[in-house]
Amino acid sequence: MTRAATRVAARLTLALLVSAACSTVALAQRAAEHADGPIAAGHDRFLGNVLTPAFDPDFAERWNQVTPENAGKWLSVEAQRGLYVWGGMDVIVAVARSHGIPVKQHTFVWGQQEPRWVADLPPDEQRAAVEAWIAAFAERYPDVALVDVVNEPLHAPPSYAEALGGAGETGWDWVVWSFERAREALPEATLLINEYNILCCAMNRVRYAELVAILQERGLIDGIGVQAHGLEHADPAVIRTNLDALAELGLPIYVSELEMESADDAAQLAMYQRMFPVLWEHEAVAGVTLWGYRAGRIWKPNAYLLDWFDEERPALTWLREYVRSTLDD
């Protein structure tokens, strides 16, 4: 080896050693930061988040519930009829099982992301296809903890709703049918319904409560899901009033799909400080699930809580401190 080559090799070795040392320090700092476990550790309610099949080594250090963002949707699993693609869901479930984190399946029946081939089938085949989809999921993941059985029934009914009973006698027979099949397939799971513009809007909340009551009378529902998109400028008093009204049904409430979008750190922090306690401290709320947190992996680009350099935005630092401060309340 020439003298010049020796010098290059020495510099490369030194650079690798420095890089490894820096990485070790960064990992140690991150481990110390999350040494106490997930943000909501010790609480009787969870603080969860969505997960994609992409590698996320820190997920279980912050969150103690997981929802697949897209991997559990019918379109993602069975885009081609009869061909079930479980790879993405398998990865997420494996992460959850390894950390003892409950999984919420999202979702069985939803008009926005159904397989393209379903709409062209005759009604009896549509019904059979939905039943087969639910059964296949239950066979593969019998230990799933929670399920969004029907997503957005008020705003996005599926193309095949008539095949499941349509409005029928209850006005919501297709939803009742869906919950019946889910209960048969997953008798131990917590069955939920999920919808948006409920916390902000009394008219939607009244209709939603009527549907929940129909399911409740039949023993088919275990909790009420309320999406929390778009609450950045909502009135906390209005949110509290609608939570109170839903709580009168006597079922636990699961706040889902929460994010606060602002490119300004201080503004995002103020949004969380104003709104999150209303959700977290309500006695009927059994869990809150955020809809992403990493920059570049969240559907609203400025709603991230962890930036591209793995640095926390002030809202995430506050969120951890706040939730842990409420442990003894």
Does the annotation count 152 as an active-site position? yes
**Is the pTM of the predicted complex or chain greater than 0.85?**
yes
Q: Is the confidence at residue 24, as pLDDT, over 90?
A: no
Query: Which one-letter amino acid corresponds to residue 160?
Result: Y
Q: Is the confidence at residue 5, as pLDDT, over 50?
A: no
Q: Is the confidence at residue 191, as pLDDT, over 80?
A: yes
> Measured between alpha carbons, how far is 41 from 36 in angstroms, rounded to an integer?
8
Q: Is the confidence at residue 326, as pLDDT, over 90?
A: yes
Does the annotation count 257 as an active-site position? yes
104 Cα distance to chain centroid: 7
Identify the H or E element spanning 106.
strand 104-109
3 state DSSP class of 159: coil
Residue 247: per-residue pLDDT: 98
- Residue 122 backbone phi and psi in degrees, to 5: -70, 160
> What confidence tens digit (pLDDT) does each residue in 224-254 have?
999 999 999 999 999 999 999 999 999 999 9
57 Cα distance to chain centroid: 18
Sheet with 223-227: strands ordered across: 66-68, 46-51, 285-290, 253-258, 223-227, 190-195, 146-151, 104-109
**Number of other residues whose CB lies within 10 A of the CB of residue 82:** 8
Burial (0-12, 13-18, 19+ Cβ within 10 Å), 264? exposed
Q: Using alpha carbons, list the distances in angstroms from residue 225 to 60, 147, 210, 289, 314.
A: 23, 10, 14, 10, 28
Q: Is the confidence at residue 82, as pLDDT, over 60?
A: yes
> What confidence tens digit (pLDDT) does each residue in 263-322 have?
999 999 999 999 999 999 999 999 999 999 999 999 999 999 999 999 999 999 999 999
Sign of dihedral through CA atoms 134, 139, 140, 143?
positive
Q: Is the confidence at residue 11, as pLDDT, over 60?
A: no
Residue 33: per-residue pLDDT: 46
Q: Is the confidence at residue 15, as pLDDT, over 50?
A: no
Spot the catalytic one: 69, 78, 257, 259.
257
Averaged pLDDT, 27-55 = 77
Q: Is the confidence at residue 26, as pLDDT, over 90?
A: no
Spot the catalytic one: 69, 78, 114, 152.
152
- Contact, 261 vs 232, CB < 8 A? yes
Identify the H or E element spanning 321.
helix 314-325
> Measured between alpha carbons, how far is 176 from 174 in angstroms, rounded to an integer?
5
